[in-house]
Amino acid sequence: MQGASDQLVDWAEFQRVRAELGANFVRILGYFREDGEKAVARIEAAMHDRDATALVLPAHTMKSEARQFGAEMLSRLAEEIEVAARRAVEAQLFPDHIVPEVAKLRPMYLRTIDLLERETNPLAQRRRTFGRGPSNQEFGRL
């Protein structure tokens, strides 16, 4: 995973959370996938309906859950939407200026989920850790 994918995911944070969650990791990643799909759809619908209030919660959810998995770019984009929506609610205006950010959300979410799932797939090629010998992924499960 190099290039743009390294920018989408903080792999050190991802690995830290993966180790911390242990056997629960794949299940919780599945929840993120499900919640993320719903959040993106709700954000898109709120933009279509011009409902600033309806933008806040799904953007907040996406921000928090993405950050949990090291998906920093996705988290920052969702936070940008959330903050703009909160300000719009307070000002009783609609945040038309975030249309480009909302348009970026689904593609970024899908690329991020693809990267996270590829990294957790036991059949996928694992990235070699620099300076270390072969890992258990290269020899099979221990």
Query: What is the DSSP track for 2-46?
Result: -THHHHH--HHHHHHHHHHHGGGHHHHHHHHHHHHHHHHHHHHHH
**H or E element in which residue 55 lies:** helix 52-68
**Which pLDDT tens digit goes with each residue over 52-88?**
999 999 999 999 999 999 999 999 999 999 999 999 9
**pLDDT tens sequence across 8-32:** 999 999 999 999 999 899 999 999 9
Which letter, b or e, does each residue of 35-52 get, where b requires 16 or more Cβ atoms within 10 Å of its Cβ? ebeebbebbbebbeeeeb
Domains in the chain: boundaries: 4-120
Whether residue 133 is predicted with pLDDT greater than 70 in this model: the reply is: no
Other Cβ atoms closer than 10 A to 29: 22
Residues 82, 64: Cα–Cα separation, whole Å: 11
Class level of CATH domain 4-120: mainly alpha
